[in-house]
Amino acid sequence: MRHVVLLCLAGGLVVGCATDPVLPTAPAAKAGSEPTGSAAAPVGPAVASTAGAASRLPAAPALPAPPAVSLAPAVASDGDYRLAPKDQVTVTVYGQDDLTRTLRVSQSGTITLPLLGEVEAAGLSATALEQKIEQGLRGRYLVDPKVTVTVAEFQGRQFAVMGAVNQPGAYPLKSNATTVMLALSEAKGVKDTADRVAYVLRARPRPGEPQPVTVDLKALLRMGNPAQNVVVEAGDSVYVPEANTYYVAGEVEKRGAFTLRRDTTLSKALTEAGGVTNRAATAEVKVVRSAPSGERQEIGPFDVKAVMGGDKSQDVALQANDVVVVPQSGAKAAAYGVLDFFKGLFSIGITP
């Protein structure tokens, strides 16, 4: 009699598998175990759907390019660095060691030199300051002075990089302006948890420029789009927000909320959720997305086998607040339910 029951169960499982092809799944979670790696309470599988759902996720809306005014320095210059208060300079007068000094530009923008006294330095390039000192010394103190000015420390102009970067902080500006790409490089790049955008907050807002300036990091860092490489000047701040979350619900080992990274796709979401259970309808996975209007869109279905097999048309990128829903297969649930029932009977010594 036991062999007959087992044959019936095997037949039921075959029927269920024929209806929904099964990938090798993660082991079933133990009863009473708490899901790990999630940031919120489990999300139930019930979601609102709309008719005529698309078979593929729509692409994330493209961010508009910053205006042309954001791509050039606010004040045109010859390219040489302009000194500012707190910068430290070394003034060398050849053949006159007693006149050679390392000095910091004062808050009033001057340096104090032997013979010449206070000399205006702020706003001048190193070359312009050399010429000014030579003119002050020539004829009056020296016949033909040769002066060299070098910047020992760049402290007068700084910019800040904050948020989801590897080394946030304030950085010296070693030229009159830099770019978002170079600013992020100074901060050792963005984190995996960074959002797809960055914001440039101007110390001196420009006419015709939005505040803050929005930069599409995907277009800049992955595609090298120069239209997104906004100029960063003294006093500006670059802010990279943390990415939002997405949710995985239904027949997975770890339901809940997870951090959305810039490269999160459906396969990575299922992997982070511990894989699907043996009761999952693996060919009916859907993604529920909230439109800007507030309407929910149910997109899919997606096949887990194709998703995990590297099919790019199935392994789609997720967006903030997406809900990945893995429904239950009715046939599999019934078959495994009967199997669990008989396992319970055998465990207490009852023979059908």
Question: Which band of pLDDT confidence, cut at 50, 70 and 90, is reported for residue 140?
Answer: confident
pLDDT at 331: 55
Residues 5-34 have a mean pLDDT of: 40
**Lowest-pLDDT range of 157-161, 197-201, 239-243:** 239-243
pLDDT at 261: 82
| Mean pLDDT for the chain overall | 78
- For the cut 80, the answer to whether the pLDDT of residue 337 exceeds it is no
3-class state of residue 20 by DSSP: coil
Higher pLDDT, 202 or 54: 202
CB-based contacts of 50-55 (< 8 A; 24+ apart in sequence): 50/295, 50/296, 50/297, 50/298, 53/286, 53/297, 53/298, 53/299, 53/300, 54/297, 54/299, 55/299, 55/300
β-pair partners for 277: none
Residues 135-148 have a mean pLDDT of: 92
Distance between CA 316 and CA 137 in Å, rounded? 70
- For the cut 70, the answer to whether the pLDDT of residue 284 exceeds it is yes
Identify each DSSP E strand in the chain by its residue range: 88-93, 101-104, 110-113, 117-120, 147-153, 158-163, 169-172, 177-179, 197-201, 213-216, 231-233, 237-240, 245-250, 256-259, 285-290, 296-302, 323-326
Of 136, 137, 131, 172, give the one whose Cα is nearest residue 154: 172
Distance between CA 306 and CA 48 in Å, rounded? 25
* Terminal CA-CA length for the chain: 7
**What percent of the chain has a predicted confidence (pLDDT) above 90?**
42
Task: Choose from 35-39, 52-56, 306-310, 329-333 the range with maximum mean pLDDT.
Answer: 306-310
Higher pLDDT, 103 or 343: 103
**Could you tell me how far CA 304 lies from the centroid of its own chain?**
27
- For the cut 80, the answer to whether the pLDDT of residue 43 exceeds it is no
Question: Which band of pLDDT confidence, cut at 50, 70 and 90, is reported for residue 332?
Answer: low
pLDDT at 7: 39
Distance between CA 189 and CA 319 in Å, rounded? 22
Distance between CA 132 and CA 138 in Å, rounded? 10
Tens of pLDDT, residues 48-98: 333 333 344 455 556 778 888 888 887 656 678 999 999 999 999 999 999
pLDDT at 139: 87
pLDDT at 169: 94
Q: Is the pTM of this model over 0.85?
A: no
pLDDT at 239: 94
Q: Which helix (H) or strand (E) holds 184?
A: helix 180-186
Residues 228-252 have a mean pLDDT of: 90
Task: Show the domains of the chain with their CATH numbers.
Answer: 1-19+337-352 (no CATH), 20-61+244-336 (3.10.560.10), 88-153 (3.30.1950.10), 157-240 (3.10.560.10)
Higher pLDDT, 104 or 56: 104
pLDDT at 340: 54
CA distances from 116 to 101, 112, 256 (A): 13, 7, 71
